[in-house]
Amino acid sequence: GQNIDQPTEMTATEGAIVQINCTYQTSGFNGLFWYQQHAGEAPTFLSYNVLDGLEEKGRFSSFLSRSKGYSYLLLKELQMKDSASYLCANDRGSTLGRLYFGRGTQLTVWP
Amino acid sequence: GAVVSQHPSRVICKSGTSVKIECRSLDFQATTMFWYRQFPKKSLMLMATSNEGSKATYEQGVEKDKFLINHASLTLSTLTVTSAHPEDSSFYICSADPGQGADTQYFGPGTRLTVL
């Protein structure tokens, strides 16, 4: 595989904060993406990190450490509709856009 | 936002037949499109990069003669699964790259292929 690792499942309650971690292989790194995917649907774009640091976008934030090959997605003020699979994807190699996905983290938000 | 469509959304076919899946970018042009495959509860796996006007680039382990890709125009790429077998049953998803510094490629809604 492409050595992208993220937890398989997570649960949280409405209104809470959850952090989904992702580690990846650093060679040939071009950027790190997070997508949300509901069952049977296509992934939808959440964030893109290429530089170290935190990118905040509303309730969702994403962090990247290039040297550590580490990223996390932070979801605040969780809502029931946030129950989905969250995919970490690494853009690697000489051709931009070739994404290598992790298995996805299935997040369940309870009332 | 940018819209990518796929047709058909679902297809059931008999073993040994060929199935064509279309991927269209509806409101932008895409020199590059990508084809992914996703098995149940598994990750999306990149199959190939589809380049308008040139041959597709396949990932290691993907048979180019089995999964034929044609990128005939800047808005259309097709994936043909030839001589399909039950193990080819999967969710096939395409994405299109708008280029011009776009942060992300845009994914189609996917095609559920079931081979009997």
Strands A9-13 and A105-110: parallel
With an 8 Å Cβ cutoff, the interface of chain B facing chain A consists of 32, 34, 36, 42-46, 49, 57, 59, 91, 93, 97, 103-110, 112
B97 vs A4, A42, A97: nearest CB = A97
Helices and strands in chain B, H and E counts: 0, 11
A43 touches chain B (CB under 8 A): yes
The helix (H) or strand (E) run that includes residue B81 is strand B76-81
B77 vs B96: CA distance, rounded Å: 9
Give residue B101's pLDDT: 66
The tens-digit pLDDT sequence of chain B (116 residues) is 678 999 999 999 999 999 999 999 999 999 899 999 998 878 899 999 998 888 999 999 999 999 999 998 999 999 999 999 999 999 999 999 887 766 788 999 999 999 99
Q: What is the pLDDT of residue B103?
A: 72
Q: Does residue A1 register a pLDDT over 60?
A: no
Record: contact A87-B32, CB cut-off 8 A: no
- Residue A2, pLDDT > 60, answer no
Mean pLDDT for A69-82 is: 97
For residue A93, the model assigns a pLDDT of 73
pLDDT in tens, A27-65: 878 899 999 999 888 899 999 999 999 999 899 999 999
pLDDT score at B1 = 65
Q: Do A98 and B108 touch (CB under 8 A)?
A: no
Give contacts of A104 with chain B, Cβ < 8 Å.
43
| Exposure of A76 in the CB half-sphere (CA atoms within 13 A) | 7
| A4, A98, A100 ranked by CB distance to B49: nearest | A98
Contact B44 A99 (CB under 8 A): yes
